[in-house]
């Protein structure tokens, strides 16, 4: 889609022209000139009440929100630019250093950190100690990594990254196969110098190359036949700008530098009645803490949303590779570090895909066989943050189910191990090469709107019933359900033994059997943070100590880890939001769900790990009066045949 189109709705992302105008206004107002850097620029979303009352054709105001950095001083400002009025308000954010942290790491700073490190005499001496000459040092891969927070004197109030290094013989080598252990440069990005160099014991650099580009992989398997996804009549979805309609679903596509893909105003057409379900849904944060206490790894705990920006790291998706079938791509207007507008081409992909059987029954008495196949709409993007690649896939189903699936792939963080020595903090993946054990935690922010703005959350558990008159045969168990009254009225932990689940209901709207309408949050088996309660990563990533948090909607509470987690000492985000224990019953509320994966590395994870999956579902639970997919037509796929016979599959009635 064209990104220069004038906005037609208050929630439309900024157009390319609006991005450039916002950057120009901010540059003019700030007076920073060439020292201005844009850490984030996005639509300043209007008040919810204004969005809900909007009628097509009405005028609406457009504002841009920016996080900007002064590269001379390291000062960070928030800017709100009124695009029509040409006015900008600026607020300096890091006056109280202990409460602020830092703006996210800029793309420019990746190259800047490498230049600073390679010019440092101490670092060059450390490389020489490990057998590298000057020419080999130039090919070393330098990864600037967010520093975490450990109250180190040389980092206080400074803009810092920690740089770790990997040996390469050629520029195209997979550096992660040959980590340089025991050397970490703490880089002051504003002063342009290495503020501190860690140089511990020398560990031999692993010898093997483990490259993964096509030529390095040898001859591929040759017995894979072509598989085509064909939609001769076109897709079933309709796209009007940023608005999408598909199979009774409607929603608006949004995108921000921090969250990436955002779904707005997700609703379902139930026999002509437009029923809202979610006002806004996104992944606001993820954190990856590592369990190795050595110099190269103990501090690693990347907040890929708040420290880098999932949206800023989005891939340009490729037809037939990232997505299969008849694809609709969304180009995303964005601002680079220097305040120039550009388009992130093919950043969001949307397509339909078959998902097997949706419902079926074979009645032997009457000979009636009925089956309907499931189709789902897929809206996705992929972000590459350093070594890891993360796909975020929202699925909409014809029965009213909503799903978010995170796909984890890419390259693991690695550690060099002296031959013959054990590696107690993870798993060996090759000779002299290990992967530290780590965890991935995502947090989805779901601003719910089930049949309206006044919602509640119920918590349900199952418990065995004692033997007795109410349970004479021992087979009975009871369902215990209660409505949460306040933010701290739940542990928020999904206990598998008792089947804990949460349901978002509208107590003011009754369904066909007299109960509140609702959606059930299906929490898949998922870990919680295992770092010690006194660890700084737990203070900074407190959202990962619960599976579920519920808060009353407050516009300022946008991110599970708080606004600025980079180098933040902790205590912000969801633990801070919920500390006052506000009422959450029958109100405009937000459900925050933490889910993830604990990764013990193994040889099969290298050189690139196969996808691991994590995520959740929202399933209609008393929302519809019956199976919402009963009106689907019979399946007649003329491209499905029985091998060798030419018999077409049958998706409708069959008489025996």
Q: Which of 234, 232, 160, 226 is nearest to 190 (CA)?
A: 160
Same domain, 169 and 254: no
pLDDT at 636: 66
Same domain, 136 and 262: no
pLDDT at 227: 86
Query: Residue 504: which CATH number?
Result: 2.70.98.20
Same domain, 74 and 152: no
Which tokens go with 4? 């220069």
Same domain, 598 and 473: yes
With H, G, I as helix, E, B as strand and everything else as coil, classify residue 490.
coil
**Is 430 annotated in the active site?**
no
- Cβ atoms of 175 and 167 within 8 Å: the answer is yes
- Cβ atoms of 305 and 561 within 8 Å: the answer is yes
pLDDT at 318: 86
Same domain, 267 and 179: no
Q: Quick one: CA torsion of 357, 363, 368, 369, rounded to 10 degrees?
A: 20
Query: Residue 133: which CATH number?
Result: 3.10.450.40
The DSSP H or E segment spanning 333 is strand 328-335
pLDDT means per 10 residues, the chain with 656 residues, are 73 98 97 97 98 95 97 96 96 72 96 98 98 97 97 94 97 97 98 97 95 88 89 95 98 98 98 97 98 97 98 91 91 98 97 95 93 96 97 98 98 96 97 98 98 98 94 95 97 94 98 97 95 96 98 98 96 97 98 98 98 98 97 77 56 39
- Candidates 304, 331, 563, 605; catalytic one: 304
Which pTM was predicted? 0.95
pLDDT at 437: 98
In a domain, 489, yes or no: yes
Domain boundary among 48, 63, 93: 93
Same domain, 128 and 251: no
Which tokens go with 112? 């800047």
In a domain, 368, yes or no: yes
Residue 57 contacts by C-beta under 8 Å, 6 or more apart in sequence? Answer: none
Distance CA 47, CA 372 (A): 42
Same domain, 195 and 244: no
In a domain, 566, yes or no: yes
**Is 451 annotated in the active site?**
no
- Candidates 166, 176, 298, 388; catalytic one: 388
Same domain, 169 and 309: no
Tally of structural domains, the chain: 3
With H, G, I as helix, E, B as strand and everything else as coil, classify residue 415.
strand
pLDDT at 524: 93
Q: How far apart are the first and last CA of the chain?
A: 50
pLDDT at 1: 47
- Cβ atoms of 651 and 373 within 8 Å: the answer is yes
CB atoms within 10 A of CB 293: 10
Same domain, 432 and 560: yes
Distance CA 487, CA 500 (A): 17
pLDDT at 82: 98
Same domain, 32 and 176: no
- Cβ atoms of 138 and 379 within 8 Å: the answer is no
User: Which residue range forms the structural domain that includes residue 53?
Assistant: 16-93
- Residue ranges of alpha helices (H) inside 566-652 are 574-577
In a domain, 628, yes or no: no
In a domain, 170, yes or no: yes
In a domain, 4, yes or no: no
Domain boundary among 68, 93, 118: 93
Domain boundary among 217, 252, 267: 217
Which tokens go with 523? 């929490």
Same domain, 445 and 372: yes
Same domain, 523 and 434: yes
pLDDT at 2: 47
């Amino acid at each position: 889609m064209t990104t220069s189109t004038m906005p037609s709705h208050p929630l439309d992302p900024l157009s390319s022209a609006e991005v450039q105008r916002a950057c120009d206004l901010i540059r003019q107002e700030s007076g920073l000139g060439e020292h201005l850097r844009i850490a984030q620029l996005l639509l300043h979303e209007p008040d919810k009440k204004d969005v809900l009352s909007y009628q097509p054709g009405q005028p609406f105001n457009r504002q841009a929100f920016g996080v900007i950095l002064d590269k001379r001083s390291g000062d960070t400002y928030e800017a709100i630019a009124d695009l029509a009025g040409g006015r900008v308000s600026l607020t300096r954010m890091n006056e109280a250093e202990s409460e602020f942290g830092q703006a996210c790491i800029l793309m420019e700073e990746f190259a800047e950190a490498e230049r600073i490190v390679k010019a440092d005499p101490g670092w060059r001496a450390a490389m020489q100690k490990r057998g590298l000459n000057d020419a080999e040092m130039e090919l070393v891969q330098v990864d600037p990594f967010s520093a975490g927070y450990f109250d180190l004197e040389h980092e206080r109030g400074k803009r810092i990254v920690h740089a770790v290094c990997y040996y390469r013989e050629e520029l195209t080598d997979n550096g992660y196969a040959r980590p340089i252990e025991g050397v970490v440069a703490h880089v002051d990005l504003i002063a342009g110098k290495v503020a501190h160099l860690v140089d511990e014991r020398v560990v031999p650099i692993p010898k093997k190359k483990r490259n993964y580009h096509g030529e390095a992989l040898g001859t591929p398997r040759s017995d894979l036949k072509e598989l085509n996804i064909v939609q001769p009549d076109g897709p079933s979805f309709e796209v009007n700008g940023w608005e999408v309609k598909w199979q009774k679903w409607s929603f608006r596509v949004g995108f921000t530098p921090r969250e990436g893909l955002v779904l707005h105003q997700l609703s379902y057409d139930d026999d002509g009645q437009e029923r809202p379900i979610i006002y806004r849904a996104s992944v606001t944060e993820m954190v990856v803490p590592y369990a190795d206490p050595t110099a190269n790894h103990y501090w690693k705990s990347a907040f890929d949303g708040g420290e880098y920006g999932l949206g800023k790291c989005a891939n340009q998706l490729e037809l037939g590779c990232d997505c299969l079938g008849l694809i609709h791509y969304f180009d995303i207007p964005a601002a680079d570090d220097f305040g120039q507008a550009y388009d992130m081409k093919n950043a969001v992909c949307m397509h339909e895909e078959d998902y097997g059987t949706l419902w079926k029954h074979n009645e032997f008495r009457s000979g009636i066989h009925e089956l309907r196949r499931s189709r789902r709409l897929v809206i996705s993007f992929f972000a590459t943050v350093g070594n890891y690649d993360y796909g975020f896939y929202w699925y909409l189903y014809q029965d009213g189910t909503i799903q978010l699936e995170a796909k984890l792939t890419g390259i693991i963080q690695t550690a060099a191990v002296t031959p013959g020595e054990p590696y107690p903090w993870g798993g060996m993946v090759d000779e002299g090469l290990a992967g530290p054990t780590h965890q991935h935690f995502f947090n989805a922010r779901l601003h719910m709107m089930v049949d309206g703005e006044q919602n509640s959350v119920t918590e349900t558990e199952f418990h065995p019933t004692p033997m007795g008159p109410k349970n004479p045969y021992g087979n009975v168990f009871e369902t215990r359900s209660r409505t949460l009254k306040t933010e701290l009225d739940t542990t928020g932990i999904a206990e598998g033994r008792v089947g804990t689940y949460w349901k978002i209901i509208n107590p003011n709207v009754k369904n066909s059997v007299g109960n509140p309408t609702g959606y059930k949050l299906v929490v898949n088996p998922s870990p919680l943070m295992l770092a010690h309660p006194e660890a700084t990563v737990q203070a900074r990533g407190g959202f990962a100590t619960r599976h579920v948090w519920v808060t009353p909607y407050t516009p300022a509470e946008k991110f599970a880890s708080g606004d600025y987690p980079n180098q933040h000492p902790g205590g912000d985000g969801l633990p801070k939001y919920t500390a006052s224990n506000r009422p959450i019953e029958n109100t405009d509320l937000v459900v925050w769900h933490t889910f993830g994966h604990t990764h013990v590395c193994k040889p099969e994870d290298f050189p690139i790990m196969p996808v691991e999956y994590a995520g959740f579902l929202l399933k209609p639970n008393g929302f519809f009066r019956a199976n919402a997919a009963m009106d689907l037509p019979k399946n007649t796929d003329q491209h499905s045949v029985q091998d060798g016979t030419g018999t077409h599959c049958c998706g409708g009635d069959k008489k025996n």
